[in-house]
Structure 1
Amino acid sequence: MSDHESQVTRLYHPSHHVPSLDEAEEWFERVFGRKSRPMAEMTRNAPASPGYPTNYSTFTPINDVLFDTIDPKNYVLDGIQRYPTVDEPHLKGFGWYVKDAVAAYRALRNLDIAMVGQMDQVADGEDPPTAPGSPMPIYFTTPESAGLRYEFLPQIPFPLDHRLAEGWELPPVAADDPLGLVRCSHHTVLTDRPERGLKVVVDALGGTVIHEGRNEILSARSTYVHLADAVFEYAVPDAGTAAHADWITNAPNDTYHSITWQVADLDRVADHLRAQGIGLRTRTDAVLVAEPKHALGIPWGFTTQLTPGDPRSAR
């Protein structure tokens, strides 16, 4: 196991790009039963850095996940829109809180993984780039070298992250939770080069491969990695499948495809999704997959069982 394992404290957040924040917030409240909080809340008592936008992002707390939804049209830094406008919503990327941002940066750099700063400047020095107008290190891998744009930053105080509250623990399933969520089971990345992503999460960050095998739901060959508080699936989909078509949209880079949740009862999930007009792409005795066109572009998965080898099963 890599000596960099302790660098990662937890998953920071998934990033999801959408054409409308209002529509996304309404969907999460209606389907997941969770209210969202805009980034602008961060600046009520302390102003943002000069020129830094606060109207481009909203955060939704979902058990052990902080979900970040972004409208790229509003993410303008130094007069430049940093992400392309989207007509259809899609998962984009994710990142990690790290204890030592310099050590994590150097571990990635030593493996020839290319990175950039928040202003997309090439990060090629011994020390990582910092946020505009701030000494805080923040940097991103390039999709060409890592498969996805992975984000790294220290675990700083962040009022919109519910998990950073003192004494926070994963809550029990709430009686009024419409989906009966337990926790996030895993995040799925589609690829034709799993070794590229594994170089990041295993070799540089110290994650552990916990399972390898066939994912019949996706029609893919998958490798599952446990890192900090989460599990990541790197899946090579068969040609001609829906997953393969999703991967093609970003090929030769990887695609952040879906998030699967552990739930208390699949029938409860199916009944609620049906009541909200959300169809199912797949249903088996063990797994449900939502139809993405009804679900903010995401084929959300729901299962009662965690991945074989997941150490969180014993907690």
Structure 2
Amino acid sequence: MASLATDPRADAAGRAVAPASTYELRPDRSKRPLVVKIVLAVLMLGFTLLFIYPFVWLISASFKPRGEVFDNKLIPDTFTFDNYIQVWQEAPLALWILNTVIVTVLAATAVTLASAMVAWGFAYFRFRGRKTLFGVVLATMMLPGAVTMVPVFLIWNALGMVGTLTPLWAGNLFGSAFYIFLLRQFFLGLPRSLFEAARADGANNWTIFTRIAMPLCKPALIVTLIFEFQASWTNLMAPLIYLRDSSTFTVPRGLKAMLDQFGFGGESQWEIVVTASVITTIPMVILFFLAQRHFVEGIATTGVKG
């Protein structure tokens, strides 16, 4: 007790206190000036309004008659539901949504499982040339899509798949360099001793991967699913290349056809175009809100090791 009394880091009651440097490492955000808090709140509110305004405008325009679509009023002067009835009559929107769901689910599932297996191989196994091979995988991200567009088309054309939905998702069976990198970083953060203990208990490589690594990698897998789901749902380039018949159109390809028919150079029925855009955008909004917690968790826990 005597030593504490003479210690400059002890208070008047003789209790030891942490050095000043300890508190300097943990700044108290609650002590920010009120002006700074107000400025930050205004900036965040401004950016929020900036990002959501186009979607709010789109929803508003979908409830307007043709002559008021571009009046830039968020509250329509004439409120009508006729656009949502007419859009289903003008185009096979339900079929396009069904095709998109099929392609999106298959593409997201395929790329997630394939990328997870490749990422697990790079993270767990030790073999000669592992880093070099992983570098080659990452280097494929540097290739522009236009470079491989024609060769890939020729392959699918030789297989007789042009005009079907298969080219839109089957390529994901080979994984994605970005998702492989993402999942590998997560696998590297898992304790290797856990897998060695499972191996000592008689588990084989496949059992360790499916029973231990995959469940622990759930947040990163959900992030991969969400990323690919969004990418496949909004993909326009591939449907433009491979789809010929309107019965096989996906949502982006169908919207392009509607834009050609009712938009620029067409019948100028923009209320149909914006209404179809709202209908096809809502699933992505719902998906984000349902998976928001897993999305944030996966982003926060990925990349803990290099």
TM-score by length of 1: 0.19
Higher relative contact order at CA 8 Å, sep ≥6: structure 1 or structure 2? 2
Largest Rg, 1 or 2: 2
If each structure's helix is expressed as a fraction of its own residues, which one has the higher value? 2
Higher strand share: 1
TM-score, normalised to structure 2, is: 0.19
